[in-house]
Structure 1
Amino acid sequence: MGRVAYGSAGLLALALLTACSAGGTSGGTAGKPDGVAMAGAGARAASVTFSPADKAADVPTDQPVVVSAQGGTLRSVRVEGDKSGSLDGVLSGDRTRWRSTVTARPGVTYTVTAVSADAAGKQTQTRSTFKTVKSNKTFDIKTITPNKDYTGLTVGVGMPVMIEFDQPIADRVSVERNLLVRSSKPVEGAWHWFDDTHVDFRPRKYWPAHTKVRVDAKLAGVRGGPGMYGKRDVRLNFKIGREQITKGSVNNHVLTVRRNGKKVRTMPMSAGQGGQWKYHTTSGIHLAMSREPVTIMTSPGIGPGSPGYYRLTVYNTVRISNSGEYVHSAPWSVGSQGHANVSHGCVNVSPANAAWFIKNTLIGDPIIITGSPRKLEPMNGWGHWQESWKQWLKWSSIKSGPTVTLP
């Protein structure tokens, strides 16, 4: 799996049977290639070849280790690093080929030990060594969202996976193919690069309700750019909760909340008033970004004493963008809710409805607003769903596909 996980163990086994490897032939004696052990007299020889070749240097960390047996089978293969642990791998069904399944670490000398058996069952142990390319610097995941602060890692059906790196990534393909997404229910999804330090994942459609999701960022040793390699692996587990989608219109002045397709609450609302200050609530597919019992709101770009300035203490707020939009309690506009738009751009609801909404909303729940002349920008908060699937894939480095089902 690249950005998105592909295939299964069965497909992997098939790949091992059909893959090719370069044999080590760096000057052995008596006409025998380097790294080959011969069986005793009276038995047909079983030989073993290694890739990378014995004593190879500056080997790329993402080059797989392949061990092949001819005239016999492999009983075991072990790859040990002098500065790091072992490399895991898989053996083909006919036990003639072994291939590593993890990325090597930079600047490490690895010893490959293979035990093979000839047709008569005689076992021979063979060793080969290689050294990987050196690293000048490392990169790491700076933040990954959702995280433990998000309601016990139970989130809404619109929740993206968002990764921020501490260094600009030049080799996006190498990094993306090592960002693996698995889910308990199959979905089609893809990663999307917003810039050199941010890559996010979302499904083509909303996550199915009650889906378990695992993200494995297998980045230790992965090339992120010239001389730069991943510092460590990171794993994230989270759950999708019930499906709750809220829709509202700035023209009809009503928010309707549906849970698993069933209407559970209707709330009169008041949206942005527009006017000379252009206080418009954005139209689009917003996501609940935070739930805040108390929020201090001030007029953007307007200081104290200037016309249009305000500073308000607001209660029971659910943030839906980075441009200061919330669904929140507004006792001062109850008389307009359901009839007119009088807010500074937020979605005003009554204190009772705001208390219910903050309690019943998960981070990542879609909140869809329509009818406004101002559109939500894809990079305004978590406006990921503003992009069509075709637009989303445009900024992917690897073809999308289904997630692998969790065991």
Structure 2
Amino acid sequence: MSIVNAPRSRSTGRKLALLVAVCALAAAGGVFAAGPGLAPASFASEAASPERSTPGLAFPVVAPAQLAVLPADEAKQVNPAAPVSLKVTNGRIDRVALTSGSGAAVDGTLSADGSSWTANAPLKFNTRYSYTFSVVDAAGRKSNTTRTFSTVSAANEADAAIYPLDGMKVGVAQPLQITFSEPVLNRDAVEKAIKISSTSGQAGDFHWFSNTMVRYRPESFWTANSTITMDLQLFGVDLGNGQIGNFNKKVTVRIGDKKVAVADATAHTFTASVNDQQAGQWPATMGDTRFPSARGYLVFMEKYRVEHMDAATIGLKPGDPAYYGQLDVNYATRLTPSGEFIHQATESAMPFLGEANLSHGCIGLGPDGAKWVFENMTSGDVVQVVNTDGDFAAVEDGYGDWNIPWAQYAN
């Protein structure tokens, strides 16, 4: 009897063939692979693939690099003193370039671990900057970014003039004056940015005469032969209304001997002292009843060997009994911008020196007295006018600081 094998299905045959093939590969040391058309492509490296937001099939998530950049992209009116910085988490900084529109580079410092970069120098006003940086994340992927911003425009740049000038030698009554090119609204910020010290250790205070001019003085006159230092760190200080200070400056001022004079309108004398020792006394004539000399402290401002005077500048016209036309006077030392001087009296006034007051407010002296004042007293020295019917000169008419009580001045 013959035995007839039952027919096998095609499916069973394919499975056996596949099994044989697998076994053959296994015996030869091969690795398992799916059949044709089912083999996956090789896994790409993480560095060459997009950042994963969910766990990958075979690799862990690489957190994306996070950036903190100052200033913001396309920022306008950036304060030139504001920090320019780049901070990176989950990565490191590869390269940074900060350049102005003209191509000038701004140096910066990269931290040891490469996580932060900071510009070393302040920026320029009215300038557009390009800020380019490369960052590498933890998987080695590099990204390049370019941002731009622009700084405060020239219209919002604030300057200031300082007096006395650096290196000047002045008298004990000279206030320190700063005149701003733009109105100051943030006075506290400006005062904090100005440090004033003296070798005498004298403390002082600021007094604002207007929204553009501030002065500083101690409670009493500066100590003779001391030195004052003004350290103004006004670059980047916000004056208010968008106006930004554009400079830092250190000014050193030397104070000379203490030179003080007293002009007595009743005694008709002018007495000068140096370091509290009388140096001379001369007969004088001062303002008459119509034009009395201003009372109080008047600080010497500037001097001229010959000064031209014009009666029209004080409102006098021909026909007025007090009209004197135009004339030149010798040894003239200015006390106020409005026109009060110490000077050599005119020939017509000489007979009245020590006897009567007949000037238009000036202090008239004889040739010897006027020449001594001209040659020995200078800017910042002071004369105190007493026993006059005149009022105090306006505090902004020259340096009227010493006529303001200290409690009022310092507030």
TM range (shorter): 0.5 to 0.7
1:145 aligns with 2:160: no
Distance apart, 1:359 and its partner CA = 0.2
- The equivalent residue for 2:380 is 364
- Aligned pair 1:303/2:317, yes or no? yes
Partner of 1:273: 288
Shift of 1:143: 2.8
The one-letter amino acid paired with 2:168 is: L
Task: Look up the match of 1:346.
Answer: 362
Conservation of the 8 A alpha-carbon contact between 1:288 and 1:364? yes
Aligned to 1:393: 410
Are 1:197 and 2:215 matched, yes or no?
no
TM-score normalised according to structure 1 size: 0.65
8 Å contact 1:298–1:309 — kept in the other structure?
no
* CA distance 1:291–1:134, shift in 2 (3 Å): closer
Q: Which has the higher contact order (CA 8 A, sep 6+)?
A: 1
SS in 1 for 2:209: strand
Which of the residues 207, 218, 233 maps onto 2:248? 233
* Paired AA for residue 324 in structure 1: G
Q: What SS is found at the alignment partner of 2:342?
A: strand
Gaps of 5+ in 1: 1-28, 36-49, 67-79, 89-99, 112-128, 395-407
Q: What corresponds to 1:382 in structure 2?
A: 399
Alignment check: 8 A CA contact 1:248 1:255 kept = yes
> SS of the residue aligned with 1:269?
strand
| Aligned-partner SS, 2:205 | strand
Task: Describe how 1:7-406 pairs up with structure 2 within 5 A.
Answer: 134-135=152-153, 137-147=155-165, 153-274=168-289, 278-299=290-311, 300-310=314-324, 311-330=326-345, 331-373=347-389, 374-394=391-411
Larger Rg: 2
Say whether the 8 Å CA contact 1:139–1:165 is kept in structure 2: no
Asked if the contact 1:210/1:242 (under 8 Å) is kept, the reply is: yes
Task: State the shift of 1:52 in Å.
Answer: 7.8
Deviation at 1:302, TM superposition (A): 1.3
Q: Deviation string for 1:201-233 (max 9, x for gaps)? A: 212211111112222322222212232212222
Contact 2:182 2:243 in 1 (8 A): no
Contact kept, 8 Å, 1:377 with 1:386, in 2: the verdict is: no
- What is the CA distance between 1:61 and its match in structure 2? 6.8
Match in the other structure for 1:398: none
Partner of 2:11: none
Q: 1:188 to 1:110 in 2, by over 3 A?
A: farther
Task: Indicate if the aligned counterparts of 1:254 and 1:338 stay in contact, CA closer than 8 A.
Answer: yes
Q: Is the 8 A contact 2:71 2:149 kept in 1?
A: no
Amino acid of the structure 2 residue aligned with 1:309: Y
Q: Taking every aligned residue pair, what percent have the same amino acid on both sides? A: 26
The alpha-carbon deviation at position 31 of structure 1 amounts to: 8.9
Contact preservation (8 Å) 2:106, 2:121: no
Aligned length: 319
CA distance in 2, matches of 1:188, 1:85: 43
1:160-180 deviation digits (Å, cap 9, x = unpaired): 111222222222222222222
1:158 Cα deviation (Å)? 0.5
Question: C-alpha displacement at 1:85, in angstroms?
Answer: 9.3
What letter corresponds to residue 157 of structure 2 in structure 1?
F
Q: Which residue does the alignment assign to 1:92?
A: none
Q: CA deviation at 1:144?
A: 2.1
1:142–1:32: structure 2 CA closer, same or farther, 3 Å change rule? same
Instruction: Name the CA shift for 1:216/1:87 in 2 (closer, same or farther; >3 Å).
Output: farther
Deviation at 1:105, TM superposition (A): 6.7
8 Å Cα contact 2:317-2:323 kept in structure 1: yes
1:190 shift after superposition: 1.6
